[in-house]
Chain A
Amino acid sequence: MTNLKPRLYTLGAVLIIAVLGATGYVWNVRQDQAESLANAPQVATAGDPAALRGQPHVVFRNTAAGESYGKVAVVPLADPDGPRAFTPASCERVYATADDAVCLSAERGLVTSYKARVLDSTWQPTQELSLTGIPSRTRLSRDGTLAATTTFVFGDSYANPGQFSTRTLVTRVDGEEIGDLEKFKLVVDGKTITASDKNMWGVTFADDDKFYVTAASGGKTWLAEGSLSKRTVTTIRTDVECPSLSPDGTRIAFKKHGDLPAGQWRLAVYDLRTGKETVLDPTNNLDDQAEWLDNETVIYGLPRDSSSDVWQVPADGSGSPQVFIPDAWSPAVVR
């Protein structure tokens, strides 16, 4: 290797181009972000989030660009795509009843930490619940006394294929922990599963003892019915994820994987009385725990670019999906 000088100059040139190119790009993105934030169409804001609780309403996470991105918002059920009222709470996922709400929030930093909080009817935090991992799902029981949270606790690294793990906790809203569902007894076809690769996610409460949940072990997923008092989870049917029980307790809306490629699901409803299964939205990929608007309609979130919308579809499979609330995520219907 001869002639150090030209090589040093070349490196200098590469270095300058790399530094200028990279900073220029990032600076440009920063400007664009600031601009689009400034030009973002303002979502119409109206009403008092506490006063709205007197009438039927929908609580959701606002995903419209702007300073209220991520804030919990409320709209009256009578005018879901009209002006929204913002609460002071910011949540990745939220669920609410008439009396309280549960909010899974992220505090971003070098180590992003996540919190689960119970909020009272005026959206003030009253209780912190234990939470580990990236927030995925949360639900309250109908009377608002039980909270369930599901988080993802990642497997690391290239060397461990297929490793991932969820943690699903059921807690009383006063903070008393009822349990980690993976520690409950899992019964599949009458046999207790002792394998430790059990995973549970996406709780929906029937009453203050009975609940439904997704159970998984050995690469299979099931709809399972659980009992908090007996600390058991019993599977009912395969290929059901993120169940959501209808208000009348007769049907389960869920995401079905079927024979789709990895990471794809469709919204379907399973009738607990007849065992009939109906796919509601055969085109859109669903990765959400659906919610029931009433006994006839299911609502669910679908991502769109950097935002997301809440859609509605008839629960009997008779109609096509329509946007219910634009720029929204994680809806909870409160009557």
Chain B
Amino acid sequence: MYVSLRDRPGSEEGAGTGSTVKRVSSTVVLLGVVSLLTDISSEMVASVLPLYLTVAVGLSPVAYGFLDGMYQGVSAFLRIAGGYAGDRGGQPKWVAVVGYGASALSRLAMLPAAGFAAITAVVTVDRLGKGLRTAPRDALIAEASDPKMLGRAFGVHRTLDTIGAALGPLVAFALLASVPGSYDSIWVVSFAVATVGVAVLVLFVPNLRNKSATARIGLRRALREVSSTRLRRPLLAAAALGLLTVGDGFLYLSLQERDDLAALYFPLLYVGTNIAYLALAVPMGRLADRVGRARVLVAGHGALLACYLLAALPAGGIGLTLGVLMLLGVFYAATDGVLPALVSRLVPAEARGSGIAAAQTVVALTRFASSVIFGLLWAVQGPSKSLLLFAGLLLFAIPLVAWLLRGIDRTEEATA
């Protein structure tokens, strides 16, 4: 097996204290703190952006929607570039620093930015930074963790990340309450928070290189690893599932179409999903470590299927709305951190960033395609029928994917 077998810092720590419950590596917690701060910063901006653009800048919602959709492709491309750059230079930390730094600086650029084009450019830089940093960061998490508890490590990271995402809008609302209409204050505070995040990353997160990887991999080698037979089936599975994953925005819209209460609390719907997600990210990660990551990944899509069915019901009500949000949280908890945990064990350590990036890009691109397709379907036949169609296809895809991923969990164990 060419997959690195050496002990990870996390496992050493656990063994040292003789504790039976192994702790997650401090690097993972630090990266979680970096993500927490960065997400407070970015969600502060994201939550006021619609209001800022329509009220303060005077754009119509149509223009806003256009702004929203424009950076998908570039961000996905940069994700691969980030993953590969981290592997190639052996400096995943510094690639991540560039990504986090770009997002932080983009906040300051909001101060002089006025008008549609300038704001578009600034928001694009922020999303590019996100694209760049994700894969090398996840590679660092994988590198710092005991292979047996990768699921839990990613769960811890995603929990901290989501706490930040939940806090961001609260900070923004508190600020706007104390200095009404001062969006500049939002950008400045957001920049300050992001800067502290970058400082934690630069100062405390070790630049874990692969000691086992003596030669840094070239582009051809990275491509070969990413297209290797070990990754082919997981990538294919991720693509099939991604194509059937409807964006949460559509699910929230379908909830508010049938239910006036959901419409009133529209901005809070994603908070409900986040709460379920952050409560379940660690348990789902641990479950994945115990029963198999592929199994949990597939089961997570079962929750998504149930979510579609509940959202497709003609009548609403608070119970059903909460049910949809909870199932969506279960789905994210069972997939978002579990996928990189699964993939990172299937590629050799020196190509880990590229492997994770490939999987995440496949998911991002197929989900984007799915959003476009679903948007068109919605326009023609409305949300209910479209959701039922996607549910039907997912019902067919889940066993297919389970078959595609058969034995993957065992392959993983054999390598660890």
Contact = CB atoms under 8 A, between A and B. Distances in A.
Contact of B68 (A152, A158, A166): A158
B179 interface: yes
Given A153-B263, A160-B375, A263 B196 contact: no
A111 B268 contact: yes
Nearest to B384: A196
A10 interface: yes
A261 interface: yes
B380 A287 contact: no
B192 A18 contact: yes
Q: Number of contact residues on A: which range applies?
A: 35 or more
A78 interface: no
A162 B204 contact: no
Interface residues of B, number: 68
Interface of A is mostly: loop
B189 A197 contact: no
A262 B249 contact: no
B175 A110 contact: no
Nearest to A221: B62
B180 A159 contact: no
Interface string A230-273: 00000000000000000000000000000001110000000000
A156 B64 CA distance: 11
B371 A263 contact: no
A25 B108 CA distance: 13
Interface in A124-152: 130, 132-134, 152
A110 B168 CA distance: 12
A164 B62 contact: yes
Interface of B: 50, 54, 58-66, 68-72, 116, 127, 170, 173, 175, 177-182, 184-185, 188-189, 191-193, 195-196, 199-200, 203-204, 206, 247-250, 252-253, 256, 260, 263-270, 367-368, 371-372, 375, 378-383
Contacts of A50: none
A130 B260 CA distance: 10
23 contacts: A1-B204, A7-B203, A19-B192, A25-B185, A29-B179, A110-B173, A113-B264, A152-B61, A154-B61, A155-B249, A156-B270, A159-B248, A160-B69, A160-B375, A161-B372, A162-B69, A162-B375, A164-B62, A165-B253, A196-B383, A218-B379, A261-B116, A262-B66
B179 A33 contact: yes
Given A156-B249, A157-B270, A160-B375, 10 more contacts: A19-B192, A111-B264, A132-B263, A155-B65, A159-B247, A159-B249, A162-B65, A163-B249, A262-B66, A287-B60
B247 A157 contact: yes
B249 A263 contact: no
A22 interface: yes
